[in-house]
Amino acid sequence: MTDHLLTKDLAAAAFSASQPPVLTVRAGAGDRITFETDDLAYAQMEEFGDLAQVTATINPVTGPVFVEGAEPGDVLAVTIHAIALAEQGWSVSIPGAGALAARMGPEFFVRRIPVRDGRAQLTPTIDCAVAPMIGCLGVAPADRDGSTVMPTLPTGGNMDLTDAAPGTTVYLPVQVPGALLSVGDIHAVMARGESSFVAVEIAGRATVSVDVVKGRSIRGPQLDTGTEYVCVGLGDPVQESVTMAYESLFSVLVDERGWDPHDAYVVMSALAPTELGGPTGSVDPDPLHPFRAVGAVTLARIAKDVLEAGARR
């Protein structure tokens, strides 16, 4: 087992099969890979107050990492071990972005968020515990470059899921040889859904390990948090994303765990809720409105103890 550090100067502006790998590791070797991430774009937003003057990439992703043994049709398993945070984060309102765009108006709003002793100081009188997570985590698509802003793709990307935290294993469908894993966009804390389009954005370092699952096929990202199993659905309109999320979870229960289909149907109707995921959409946005999501991301989740209780013994 070897430790690797990929610094922020190895970042790129997309999840791309044309991007040369910066590291090669062997699947299942246990190597710990630490991805350093950058927050320069938010500093420039504070400095200029004008997106046209921001030259830094929004959500740069460090990588990619070539995983020996990962082939198209496989599943890459990415286990998140740790996330270390800088001492200051950012809360930003980008004009035209997020559910509160109309209320926040046409001007940039940028607030520095001190992060000390595991707490984020949101206002002079309100702080909260940090809950570090990874916003951008994905592998390279075969047929296009994946944006680090939107949309979320079957191969991951900017997913903005609070479940992508230490202790979670993220499963991604591999479309190109070596998978080409990249990581970026660390958050100190984020409310589920990220309705404002930003969390408490922060520079940091995320440490992961990788393995490959052969003989398994998934339609989109899935996450095992240790206490819950989560399937990501993508689609436009929103009901298509709900259907994909539920069908994916049904496949986990029935096709992979051996549940009786009728049992799975009944249990999911009672114990498998869905919710909207991140604000990134599932379809490329209108170029005239690049921060306005099109399509939806839906999460279907079930408790791990329920998942295991119905599995075929």
* Domain presence at residue 274: yes
Q: Residue 105: left (phi > 0), alpha (psi -120 to 50), or beta?
A: left
Q: Is the peptide bond before 64 cis (omega within 30 degrees of 0)?
A: yes
Q: Which residues does 303 contact at the CB level (< 8 Å), separation at least 6?
A: 227, 228, 271
What pLDDT score does 66 carry? 98
Residue 208 lies in a domain: yes
β-sheet bridge partners, residue 33: 4, 208
Asked whether residue 267 is domain-assigned, the answer is yes
How far apart CA 21 and CA 272 sit, in angstroms, is: 38
Tally of structural domains, the chain: 1
Plot region of 49 (φ>0 → left; ψ -120 to 50 → alpha; else → beta): left
Local mean pLDDT, 10-residue blocks, the chain (313 residues): 96 97 96 97 94 94 98 98 98 92 93 98 98 98 96 97 98 98 98 88 98 97 98 97 98 96 97 94 90 94 95 66
Rounded Cα gap, residues 171 and 225, in angstroms: 11
Two structure tokens written together for 227: 């206490």
Distance CA 175, CA 140 (A): 7
**Which domain range does residue 216 map to?**
3-10+25-309
Q: Is residue 245 part of a domain?
A: yes
Q: Say what angle helices 261-271 and 238-251 make with each other, to 10 degrees.
A: 130
Residue 20 lies in a domain: no
What are the phi and psi torsion angles at 84 (to 5°)? Answer: -105, 135
Q: Is 217 domain-assigned? A: yes
19 assigned to some structural domain: no
Q: How far is CA 21 from the centre of its chain?
A: 20
Q: Positive or negative, the Cα torsion across 114, 116, 119, 123?
A: negative
Asked if 247 contacts 235 with a C-beta cutoff of 8 angstroms, the reply is no
Give backbone dihedrals phi and psi of 16, rounded to 5 degrees, phi first: -135, 135
Give the start-end residues of each E strand in the chain: 3-6, 11-12, 14-15, 23-26, 32-37, 61-68, 75-93, 109-116, 119-121, 127-129, 133-138, 146-147, 156-158, 169-173, 179-189, 200-213, 222-224, 228-235, 274-276, 296-303
Q: What is the pLDDT of residue 313?
A: 53
In a domain, 161, yes or no: yes
**CATH code for position 39:** 2.60.120.580
Residue-by-residue DSSP string for 4-53: EEE-GGGEESEE-TTSPPSEEEETTS--EEEEEE--HHHHHHHHHS-GGG
In this prediction, residue 288 carries a pLDDT of: 83
- Sequence letter at residue 21: P
